[in-house]
Chain A
Amino acid sequence: MARRLMLALFSALFVLYVAGPVLWLLSSSLQMESEITAVPPNWLPPHPGMHNFVAIFSAGDSAAYTNRGIAGFLPSGAANLLPSLYNSLQVGLWVAALNLLVSLTAAYAIAVIDFKGRRATLYTVLATRVIPDIALVVPLFLVIRNLGLINSIGALVVTYLAVTVPFTIFILISYFEGIPRDLYRASRIDGCGHWGALRHVYLPLSLPALVAALMFAFLTSWNEFLFALVLTQSAAAQTLPIIIAGFVMDFTTSFSFVNAAGVIAILPPVLLAVIFQRYIVSGLTAGAVKG
């Protein structure tokens, strides 16, 4: 009994620890600037309102911009928020889609087709991830600049793929190897070529892993800061983390506004998680336990 009580207590503490900042983000995004700086703090919004969100969505519109009471506190980069959100979404979706396409075919080849040097191929792919990003960022900058891709979404997509593809290949391979080999054999006998076996056996039976790979790629590119900072220089290609980080540089920043931006930033990943939640748990543990 005492044991269960302790368990419940610590679970509650842990939930508070993890969810607390998110809840504060949510609560403060609905408050006025003066309300969030109050002491003692307003845990719940005294006069909940959408004014911060309205400010975000009208920040690009200069007329509305000057008319707002809050305008004086708006960070200087506020107008870039919506474009950067769009950039982030674009980069995230491209990375998620291309990552899956590339990794799926590569993982299939390595896990299923018995070619010379398959182990070596896998280790080479994985070895690229041993080098820390910080060591790569300058050479990468030079390469991207020479390609004339600086400050483009494409530069980010390509760079993020280099990060996500090796891991995704690794996860998919261990998932594929858990799929009985006889199913592959049966499909080949029944008339499938390699594309057919991929489509009729490996795709349908690895949905959880595929969803996990999608989420992983999207979140990685959604959160990424270092490469985005170096490879993009203007609002044309900058992503959300860069713009939001820029807000806190201003002396007179409205933190309720920044927090509203934060809420918008966590929305797409949360939405993804909700849509795919029934696949996620089994997918994330896929590499760990073969079942």
Chain B
Amino acid sequence: MAAITLQGVTKRYGSVTAVQALDLAIHEGEFMVLLGPSGCGKTTTLNMIAGLEEISDGTLLFDANDVTRLPPHQREVAMVFQSYALYPNKTVAENIAFPLKLRRVPKAEIERAVAGVAEQLELTPLLQRRPNQLSGGQRQRVALGRAIVRNPSVFLMDEPLSNLDATLRLSMRSLIKRLHHRLKATFVYVTHDQAEALTLADRIAVMQGGVVQQLDTPEGIYERPANTFVASFLGSPQINLLREGLPRPSWVAEGREVIIGLRPEDVARPAAGLVTLGGRVELVSPLGSETQLEVALGSASVTLRVPKDWRVNEGETLEFGIDPARLHVFDATTERRIAP
């Protein structure tokens, strides 16, 4: 059991619909990221997969088995929580051993498994401590250890890194990625951090308001956002979305109202084949390897990311080139992507 299929899965809390008729097929061994702003229903979706929340409507399959009404302890999934959720009255070793103990695994085998996991996650010197004697990163590794010790085929993670500081987050991110490569299990990973989603995911499901807005590979989501919400949720700094001021690609029907999107990095020096635009530079923010600019474009302004050797000063007029093929076009009313 490792492929997860959600068919029309809905969760209602009284009159609030947290998740609306969600269809999602997660392949065996896939790293699926649920990405979206706070309150969009990511955690609820994950909890329904885990069996922690009842499914109001719809069907949940693990491979071909209907598990919609199965209690969590019969679903054999492992989960890592944002709050770590370590048992405060148990030591690190006892926390990691707990799932095995409940499954009546022989003692010697438990000890071997715990030692192995501790070794992988560099927890060996901490095994006898209690959670309140650990740092945030250590707690998160214990929580991971408790999940992997069972060798489950499904891993659920709910914003596991959001309580860690930036450096630690990066190293934990690569730890999780390596874990996925090694375990070959199905991962469902919830985050509101687009960078995390882009680096980890095989596929990303972008959610808003309890509905999946787009399901695609990180590249597909970034290159071909399905609507303005997805376009502006991924990418930092945000995509520029303008109703006027940016050139309309020639294939857009005359008179159709559209929103044109320009990724800040999709600019170059003016050249043949590019459309040249110009405007006053209002703000220059050096970022080390690159420089971020705010450039006035008619009544609006756009954010651009340019190589630092452009050497732009505030107040100057900057001329830059845009490849019309790299512009994103959305219908002004539906805000959905339109393509030639």
Q: What is the 8 Å Cβ interface bit string for chain B, positions 28-69, against chain A (1 contact, 0 not)?
A: 000000000000000000010011101000000000000000
A interface footprint on B61-82 (CB within 8 Å = 1, 0 otherwise): 0000000000111000111011
A189-B72, A193-B71 given; A180·B102 CB < 8 A? no
> Judging by beta carbons under 8 Å apart, are B102 and A182 in contact?
no
State whether A192 and B73 are in contact (beta carbons under 8 Å apart), knowing that A114-B54, A180-B85, A185-B85 are contacts in the complex.
yes
Contacts of A186 in B (CB 8 A): 79, 81, 85-87, 146
Whether a CB of chain B sits under 8 angstroms from the CB of A183 is yes
User: With the chains together, A201 CA to B85 CA distance in Å?
Assistant: 11
The yes or no answer to A148 lying at the interface (CB within 8 A) is: no
- Is B98 an interface residue when CB atoms closer than 8 A count as contact? yes
B249 on the A face (CB < 8 A): no
Set of chain B residues within 8 Å of A200, measured between Cβ atoms: 87, 98
List residues 185-228 of chain A with CB under 8 A from any CB of chain B: 185-193, 196, 200-201, 204-205
Q: Which residue of A lies closest to B84 (CB)?
A: A182
A182 proximity list for chain B (CB < 8 A): 81-85
Which parts of B124-167 form the interface with A (CB within 8 Å)? 146
B50 contact set on A, CB distance < 8 A: 185, 189
**Also in contact, A191 and B99, with CB within 8 A (given A180-B85, A185-B79, A185-B81):** yes
- Closest chain-B Cβ to A160's Cβ sits at a distance in Å of 32
Give the dominant DSSP class at A's interface. Answer: helix
Contact of A192 among B82, B86, B102 (CB under 8 A): B102
Chain A residues with CB below 8 A from B47, complex form: 185
Least Cβ–Cβ distance between A249 and chain B, in angstroms: 53
How far, in Å, is A112 (CB) from chain B's closest CB? 12
> Chain B binding site: helix, strand, loop or mixed by DSSP?
loop
Q: B residues within 8 A CB of A204? A: 89
B103: interface (CB < 8 Å): yes
Q: What residue of chain A has the Cβ atom nearest to residue B146's Cβ?
A: A190
- Bound together, the chains give a CA A196 to CA B102 distance in angstroms of 9
In the assembled complex, which residues on chain A have CB atoms less than 8 Å from the CB atom of B52?
A: 185, 188-189
Smallest Cβ-Cβ distance to A189: which chain B residue: B79
Q: Which of A114, A190, A201, A205 contacts B102, CB < 8 Å? A: A190
Known A114-B54, A196-B102; contact A188-B85, beta-carbon cutoff 8 A: no
Bound form: Cα–Cα A204–B90 in Å: 10
Residue B88 interfacial (CB < 8 Å): yes
Cα A192 to Cα B103 with chains together (Å): 10
CB proximity of A206 to chain B, nearest CB, Å: 11
B73 lies within 8 A of A180 (CB): no
Least Cβ–Cβ distance between A129 and chain B, in angstroms: 29
- State whether A205 and B89 are in contact (beta carbons under 8 Å apart), knowing that A190-B102, A191-B102, A192-B102 are contacts in the complex: yes
Chain A residues positioned under 8 Å from B73 (CB to CB): 188-193, 196
Q: Which of B71, B77, B102 has the most CB of A within 10 A?
A: B102
How close is A94's CB to chain B, nearest CB, in angstroms?
A: 29
- Assembled-state Cα–Cα distance A190/B98 (Å): 7
Shortest C-beta distance, B335 to chain A (Å), equals 36
Q: How far is the CB of A118 from chain B (nearest CB, A)?
A: 13
Which positions 92-111 of chain A face chain B at CB distance < 8 Å? none
Nearest chain-B residue to A180 (Cβ)?
A: B83
Known contacts A114-B54, A182-B81, A196-B102; A188 and B87 CB within 8 A of each other = no
Give complex CA distance A200, B97 in Å.
Answer: 13
Q: Chain A contacts of B83 at CB under 8 A?
A: 180, 182
Q: Nearest CB to that of A203 among chain B residues?
A: B89
Q: Contact at B85–A183, with CB atoms within 8 Å?
A: yes
Chain B residues with Cβ under 8 A from A205's Cβ? 88-89
A189 touches B78 (CB 8 A): yes
Contacts of A196 in B (CB 8 A): 73, 102
Output the residue of B77, B86, B99, B103 with the most chain A CB within 10 A. B99
* Residues in A whose Cβ lies below 8 Å from that of B81: 182, 185-186
Which chain A residues border B99 with CB–CB below 8 Å? 190-191
Q: Which of A147-193 contact B (CB under 8 A)?
A: 180, 182-183, 185-193
A contacts, CB < 8 Å to B? 114, 180, 182-183, 185-193, 196, 200-201, 204-205
User: Could you pull out 16 A-B pairs where Cβ atoms are within 8 angstroms?
Assistant: A114-B54, A183-B85, A185-B47, A185-B52, A185-B81, A185-B85, A186-B79, A186-B146, A187-B87, A188-B73, A189-B78, A190-B99, A191-B73, A200-B87, A205-B88, A205-B89
User: Interface on B for A, CB 8 Å cutoff?
Assistant: 47, 50-52, 54, 71-73, 77-79, 81-89, 98-99, 102-103, 146
Smallest CB-CB A-B distances: 3 pairs: A191-B102, A182-B85, A186-B85
